[in-house]
């Protein structure tokens, strides 16, 4: 075939091939087939060397013309395809900004921690400062300094996890009392929140692991009336609604006189249920005027100073405040339960 015929045949073939192009990939392949190093147009250029000398400039011009036509056609189609493909992509990736967003679940404090912080906040507001005591403590601070001599029957009130003969998991936050007296100048007005451990039978209202907040106020002329007024104000601020409380005389070796306070059970409203052991009331706190022997153990002269102390159970308060029927719910780690607080 003469070169001229070949030029025309390539032009026609290109026009047909161009009509079949759909995607930018098809077009790239077409470009390589016609304009690439081994493409049809390059082959034409190579075949030029066999043409007669006089024909060479004319044919060379025709081949260049064909090359430019093909390049232009490819360029124009490439622009159209690119813009169509971009439209398609944008359509596919379109975002409806009016759709509601995905809610991210945030972690939150455990209900017992929430209650503990709330009680501490209220007490700080009432003039108490915060100090912490150790979870693992000596028999001395947990018992002996608090007027529990060795073999005293009152020790049986708090079944204890001993680590060694002298070291134990504290059974009460009262272990901070003498430490605080030893360390701080008078007057003392402080609270100590913390974990307590007792080797007890677990029930709806009692666990082997729970939290207390200890409160201590020592000054000249502190009276039992101050203690009751503080507790009444605490209940009022914590529950933010009318609740019924009652104070009963009770015995703790480290106070004299001693009391316990009960709150009317919010599960049965006094009717009787498992939580309140069918008594209608739940005990939440032990308290009293600090025993002179304990003040002495802390280096304080009981002739000059008096004080009150209380130990408040945080799990029990949380049960009552939110109407929860069983203390075991706090340690089950059930997210459906925890997410409600
Ligand atoms: C005491 O622990 C005394 N240290 C309280 C005290 C402090 C008295 C200062 C006087 C002066 P009691 O064992 O009653 O007392 O416990 C106090 C509170 O802790 C209880 O009213 C209850 O709310 C909570 N509590 C006690 N044992 C458990 C338990 N096993 N599970 C959950 N809460 C408990």
8 shares its domain with 67: yes
pLDDT 10s digits, 17-57: 999 999 999 999 999 999 999 999 999 999 988 888 998 99
Domain-located, residue 145: yes
Q: pLDDT value at position 50? A: 87
78 shares its domain with 129: no
Decide: 287 in ligand 1 pocket, CB within 6 A: yes
Q: pLDDT value at position 149? A: 80
Nearest to 330 by CA among 318, 321, 117: 318
Residue 6 Cα to ligand 1 middle (Å): 105
- Residue 185 is classified by DSSP as P
Residue 262 Cα to ligand 1 middle (Å): 12
Average pLDDT over residues 94-109: 89
> With 90 as the cut, is the pLDDT of residue 156 above it?
no
> With 90 as the cut, is the pLDDT of residue 151 above it?
no
pTM: 0.74
Decide: 230 in ligand 1 pocket, CB within 6 A: no
The domain boundary, picked from 92, 125, 160, lies at: 92
pLDDT 10s digits, 213-237: 999 999 999 999 999 999 999 999 9
Average pLDDT over residues 243-251: 95
Q: How many structural domains comprise the chain?
A: 2
Under the banding of pLDDT at 50, 70 and 90, the label for residue 153 is confident
pLDDT 10s digits, 64-86: 999 999 999 999 999 999 999 99
Nearest to 254 by CA among 299, 287, 212: 287
pLDDT 10s digits, 106-136: 889 999 999 999 999 999 999 999 999 999 9
Q: pLDDT value at position 21? A: 94
Domain-located, residue 98: no
186 shares its domain with 278: yes
> With 90 as the cut, is the pLDDT of residue 11 above it?
yes
Domain-located, residue 50: yes
45 shares its domain with 158: no
332 shares its domain with 241: yes
Decide: 288 in ligand 1 pocket, CB within 6 A: yes
The domain boundary, picked from 92, 120, 154, lies at: 92
Q: pLDDT value at position 31? A: 95
* DSSP class per residue in 288-304: EEEPHHHHHHTT--TTT
116 shares its domain with 255: yes
Average pLDDT over residues 312-340: 95
65 shares its domain with 168: no
Nearest to 263 by CA among 278, 234, 285, 237: 285
Q: pLDDT value at position 48? A: 87
71 shares its domain with 167: no
Domain-located, residue 105: no
The domain boundary, picked from 61, 92, 123, lies at: 92
First to last CA, the chain: 89
Decide: 311 in ligand 1 pocket, CB within 6 A: yes
72 shares its domain with 117: no
Domain that includes residue 54, residue range: 3-92
Q: pLDDT value at position 231? A: 97
138 shares its domain with 44: no
Ligand 1 atom with least separation from CA of 173: 4
> With 90 as the cut, is the pLDDT of residue 2 above it?
no
64 shares its domain with 115: no
Write out the two tokens for 231.
Answer: 């507790």
What mean pLDDT, rounded, does the chain reach? 94
Q: Which residues contact 219 (CB under 8 A, 6 or more apart)?
A: 186, 187, 188, 189, 305, 306, 307
> With 80 as the cut, is the pLDDT of residue 341 above it?
yes
Which of 311, 314, 320, when mutated, tests ligand 1's pocket best, judged by the most ligand atoms within 8 Å of its CB?
311
Decide: 267 in ligand 1 pocket, CB within 6 A: no
119 shares its domain with 13: no
Domain-located, residue 179: yes
> With 80 as the cut, is the pLDDT of residue 1 above it?
no
Decide: 263 in ligand 1 pocket, CB within 6 A: no
Domain-located, residue 103: no
Under the banding of pLDDT at 50, 70 and 90, the label for residue 158 is confident
Domain-located, residue 97: no
159-168, 185-194, 212-221: least confidently modelled range: 159-168
Ligand 1 atom with least separation from CA of 216: 9
Domain-located, residue 258: yes
Nearest to 294 by CA among 192, 187, 148, 184: 148
């Amino acid at each position: 075939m003469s070169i001229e015929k070949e030029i025309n045949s390539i032009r026609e073939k290109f026009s047909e091939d161009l009509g079949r192009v759909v995607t930018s990939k098809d077009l790239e392949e077409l470009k390589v087939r016609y304009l690439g190093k081994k493409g049809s147009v390059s082959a034409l250029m190579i075949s030029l060397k066999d043409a007669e000398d006089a024909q060479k400039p004319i044919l060379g011009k025709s081949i260049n013309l064909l090359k430019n036509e093909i390049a232009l056609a490819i360029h124009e189609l490439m622009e159209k395809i690119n813009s169509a493909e971009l439209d398609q992509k944008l359509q596919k990736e379109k975002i409806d900004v009016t759709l509601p967003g995905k809610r991210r679940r945030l972690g939150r404090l455990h209900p017992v921690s929430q209650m503990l912080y709330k009680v501490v906040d209220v007490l700080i507001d009432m003039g108490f400062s915060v100090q912490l005591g150790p979870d693992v403590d000596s028999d001395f601070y947990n018992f002996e300094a608090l007027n529990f001599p060795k073999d005293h029957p009152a020790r049986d009130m708090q079944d204890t996890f001993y680590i060694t003969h002298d070291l134990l998991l504290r059974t009460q936050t009262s272990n901070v009392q003498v430490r605080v007296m030893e360390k701080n100048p008078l007057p003392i007005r402080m609270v100590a929140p913390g974990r307590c451990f007792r080797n007890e039978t677990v029930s709806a209202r009692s666990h082997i692991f729970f939290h207390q907040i200890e409160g201590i106020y020592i000054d000249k002329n502190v009276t039992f009336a101050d203690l009751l007024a503080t507790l009444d104000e605490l209940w009022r601020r914590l529950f933010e609604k009318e609740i019924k409380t009652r104070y009963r005389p009770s015995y703790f070796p480290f106070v004299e006189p001693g009391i316990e306070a009960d709150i009317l059970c919010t599960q049965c409203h006094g009717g009787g249920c498992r939580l309140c052991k069918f008594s209608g009331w739940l005990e939440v706190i032990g308290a009293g005027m600090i025993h002179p022997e304990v003040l002495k153990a802390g280096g304080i002269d009981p002739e000059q100073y008096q004080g009150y102390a209380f130990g408040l159970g945080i799990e029990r308060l949380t049960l009552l405040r939110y109407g929860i029927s069983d203390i075991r719910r706090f340690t089950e780690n059930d997210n459906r339960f925890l997410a409600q607080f």
